[in-house]
Amino acid sequence: MATGAEQSGGFPVDPLHQFVVQPLIPLNIGGLDASFTNASLWMVVTVVAITVFTTLGMRSGAMVPGRMQSVVESFYTFIANMVRDNAGHDAMRFFPFIFSLFAFIFFANMIGMFPYAFTVTSHIVVTFVLAGVVFVGVTLTGFILHGAKFLKVFVPSGVPVALLPLVVAIEIISYFSRPISHSVRLFANMLAGHIMLKVFAGFVLTFMTMGAIGWAGMILPLFMIVCLTALEFLVAALQAYVFTILTCMYLHDALHPGH
């Protein structure tokens, strides 16, 4: 989205303009700005897409699945296997939450790849809330299930007693740094990917203003954009997978502390 005028550095495209949150329907609830923004709109689009995908896919409900149904079923089994393998069999009661988490992040990342679409997960507030919900939920689950013995999660098995204070201190620090790394990983990947695409788009425009040689040289950044877009699709899917599998691992720590 070119801003029209040249920036101070002579760069024709502002890479950060795509991340601006603009209110579409201004709402004011008790002094708080609760407007329906473009971010909210694309989150609604994500949820509608997930609903359409799952309900339309399972509409036939045949014993031998057709094409659409087997896609939905493999989506389901993929996440069910992930939960069972990484969090244990008794973690399946958390499966709806983890399925929703994976589906939301996956669809939000993929929908953000459309031209002119807004990438919801490229905002730290969105990913921090997702990671925060996981962190608070997992910690609460641990305390509810195990009481005070949940604190055994800070004491890994097989540590010599002399090293124990140091190891426990390190474990506590790394436990509290989990929501930060969890959220920043998804946020930074989405942000960096989209900024890179915009920057190369700016290079294409810069080449085009350079006359005849520019039109020939324009192919290079354009080719780079094609490759980066393919990489970004991969990263979108991968980051959703990594977020979910880390959630399953944290859940495993909460359900079986001290392993």
**Interacting residues with another protein (CB under 8 A):** 15-16, 181, 184-185, 188-189, 191-192, 195, 238-239, 241-242, 245-246
User: Of the two residues 168 and 242, which places its CB atom closer to another protein in the complex?
Assistant: 242
Which one, 15 or 142, has the nearer CB to another protein?
A: 15
Burial environment of residue 67 by CB neighbours within 10 A (0 to 12, 13 to 18, 19 or more): exposed
C-alpha dihedral over 201, 206, 209, 211, to 10 degrees? -100
For residue 25, the minimal CB distance to another protein (Å) is: 28
Nearest distance from residue 245's CB to another protein, in Å? 6
Dihedral angle sign, alpha carbons of residues 69, 74, 79, 85: positive
Nearer to another protein, 57 or 202 (CB): 202
- How far is 49 from 104, CA to CA, in rounded Å? 10
| C-beta of 218 vs 246, nearer to another protein | 246
Find the shortest distance in angstroms from Cβ 143 to another protein. Answer: 27
Nearest residue to 98 (alpha-carbon basis) of 83, 81, 78? 83
For 3, phi and psi rounded to 5 degrees?
Answer: -80, -5
Cα–chain-centroid distance for residue 72? 20
Nearer to another protein among residue 226 and residue 238 (C-beta):
238
Whether 182 and 128 have beta carbons less than 8 Å apart is answered as no
**Tokens for 15?**
């890479």
Q: How far is the CB of 139 from another protein (least distance, A)?
A: 21
Output the smallest distance, CB 62 to another protein, in A: 29
Q: Smaller CB distance to another protein: residue 204 or 246?
A: 246
Contacts of 241 (CB under 8 A, 6+ apart): 102, 106
Q: Output the smallest distance, CB 169 to another protein, in A.
A: 22
Residue showing tokens 């992040």? 105
CB-CB neighbours of 57 under 10 Å: 19
